[in-house]
Structure 1
Amino acid sequence: MKNLVLRLSILCALLLAKPTVAEVVTVYTSAGFAPLMLGDGRGMYPDLIGYLNQRKLGKLTFRLQYMPRKRLQVKLEDGSIDGMVIGMMPEWFDDVEQKKYLWSASFASDRHALVSLAAKPVSPDTPAGLVGASVGLTLGYHYPGIDGWLASSRMLRSEGASDEKNLEKLLLGRLDCVIVAESMARYFIRAHAMSSRLHVAILASPPTERRMLAPHNYAAAFGQIAPVLKKLKDDPAWQRIVATYQ
């Protein structure tokens, strides 16, 4: 009789127990260029989300979703964003003191590069050669650290839909040079075997740091992800993933 009562008690406890429900956290990105995001669904950001999910951080499951930069900015400013944002800098959101949002440590860094044709290289160290040159920029993008240099260079700005489109225009001779992230330039050159056709000059500017941003109402989830991102640069497993895009 005692065994029967015990079994019934265990059965009732199992029936009444609440199932563990995973909390899905959407991570937004406005990046649409390689190697951060590739057209086939791969890229450093999708791989990072996969890496975080493999770490099984409590009940959290992360899902990456693209959102255009302007819409993302509006949602952050009006407080309607329903998730975190990957790959941002405090300087881009007037939050140098890091009070408006929660910010992770930098998990990657990049630099701006001036890409031109190897047959007709454009050098940032030769100001006279910049005057009147057409430079491809991406529509809606900010270029912190080089805005002043751009304004004084007297180059003719041409805004395109994406970095890739600007590089295609460069190869067609419709632009004299293009400003892109160094990682993007290196990946494009390797993926398309363009080392003999394109010239890359690194611009003198502070590095672009990639961080995770979270609204304060996501503090609990952010508290689990932030320590992992802080150690990311020292993780051999993650560095092996990064190496596939270099």
Structure 2
Amino acid sequence: MEVVPRARLVKYLEEKKTYVVPLVAPEWFKDPYQEKFLWMSSLYEDENLLISPSQKPVEFLNRESLVGKKTSDVIGHRNAMVEDLITHKQVQRIEAGSYENILKMLASERIDFAIFGRMLYGSLVDELGLQKELYVSAKPIEKFSRKVLINPKSRTDLQKWLEKAVLDLRGSKEWKRMLVCSY
């Protein structure tokens, strides 16, 4: 398994090969009605958090609360709302090579905010020991279901098999315990 920028992933998905993409949301692929690709049931509910330096906290109220700020994202990873603000020159972006680097930039106040999925943030902030240096806005940017995408749509055999695996996973005590620990 490899993590690739979304632009490259979209090109892969245009090919006739079979791809299984975990932990994504239909809206990220312009497939809100789940018609373009095959989708599994939700693995878990997640939300994107607005993270800022604890010495300069940013409280997310709406998109206007980000205007005039500096952010960072991993190369190839984008949030539609922030991308629109960047396109209109209302937010400045610094590209980063990793999410760990983004948290370090926040802790050193090189950027004003960044957006992280709750589970990823919880894992990395603990690993880096930056809990005291970072602030999490009370209001999340957005909430969504983490799912598994399958392409091409003709792979209904794979969809049936994975759907059973997802439902089994969601019903397991270990999975529920892991989700509780992550939130």
TM-score range, shorter chain: 0.7 to 0.9
Instruction: Specify every segment of 5 or more residues in structure 1 that has no aligned partner in the other structure, as ranges.
Output: 1-64
| Percent identity (aligned) | 23
TM-score (norm 1): 0.62
Equivalent residue in structure 1 for 2:47, among 92, 111, 119: 111
- 2:105 paired with 1:174: no
Looking at both structures, which has the greater relative contact order when contacts are Cα pairs under 8 Å and sequence separation is at least 6?
2
- 2:177 paired with 1:237: no
TM-score (norm 2): 0.80
The residue number in structure 2 matching 1:28 is none
Distance 2:113 2:50 in 1: 7
Q: Which amino acid aligns with 2:109?
A: G
Structure 1 residues 138-177: aligned runs within 5 Å: 138-144=74-80, 154-177=90-113
The residue number in structure 2 matching 1:197 is 133
Q: Which amino acid aligns with 2:175?
A: W
- 2:149 paired with 1:213: yes
**Count of residues in correspondence between the two structures:** 181
Distance 2:9 2:65 in 1: 37
RMSD: 2.9
Going from structure 1 to structure 2, the CA distance change for 1:101 and 1:131 (only over 3 Å counts) comes to closer
Structure 1 residues 64-79: aligned runs within 5 Å: 65-69=1-5, 70-79=7-16
Q: Helix, strand or coil for the counterpart of 1:173?
A: coil
Distance 1:129 1:221 in 2: 43
The residue number in structure 2 matching 1:184 is 120
Q: Which amino acid aligns with 1:238?
A: W
Q: Which amino acid aligns with 1:227?
A: K
Distance 1:169 1:77 in 2: 35
CA contact (8 A) 1:106 1:211 kept: yes
Going from structure 1 to structure 2, the CA distance change for 1:153 and 1:115 (only over 3 Å counts) comes to farther
Going from structure 1 to structure 2, the CA distance change for 1:90 and 1:168 (only over 3 Å counts) comes to same
Equivalent residue in structure 1 for 2:160, among 223, 236, 241: 223
